[in-house]
Amino acid sequence: LAKTTQPISMDSYEGQEVNITCSHNNIATNDYITWYQQFPSQGPRFIIQGYKTKVTNEVASLFIPADRKSSTLSLPRVSLSDTAVYYCLVEGGANNLFFGTGTRLTVIP
């Protein structure tokens, strides 16, 4: 199984750009990389998904290097409402339903 490793927690001030990196050394050729956001007492919410290079949507950007062994979620100009847990998943085959411990992001005023 492709295991993911993320920092347990991060702090950031409002208005700053936040980059959360995820390592997935055993990613398979058919695997996609997906990020979810979870607020307390709610289910995770899909943020972004990518296969290689860069993907951008209205919420975030996802950077994936050529070897695909890591990925970086970039949140531009975070606000207090971005305080949440962010999960990186490698999706494909037997891997895509298993969430790790995630990264707890705290945005400070």
Partner 1 sequence: ETGVTQTPRHLVMGMTNKKSLKCEQHLGHNAMYWYKQSAKKPLELMFVYNFKEQTENNSVPSRFSPECPNSSHLFLHLHTLQPEDSALYLCASSQEPRVGKLFFGSGTQLSVL
Q: Which residues bind to partner 1, rule: CB under 8 A? A: 34, 36, 41-46, 49, 91, 93-94, 96-102
- CB 18: neighbour CB atoms within 10 A? 20
Write down the least CB distance from residue 41 to partner 1, Å: 6
In the complex with partner 1, the residue whose CB is nearer, 21 or 104, is 104
Contact 38, 45 (CB under 8 A): yes
Compute the distance between CA of residue 47 and CA of residue 19 in angstroms, rounded to an integer. 14
Q: C-alpha distances in angstroms, 78 versus 19, 56, 71, 95, 107? A: 10, 16, 19, 30, 7
Compute the least distance from the CB of residue 51 to partner 1, in Å. 13
Residue 42: CB minimum distance to partner 1, A: 5
Q: Which is nearer to partner 1, 45 or 69 (CB)?
A: 45
For partner 1, give the closer residue by CB, 13 or 46: 46
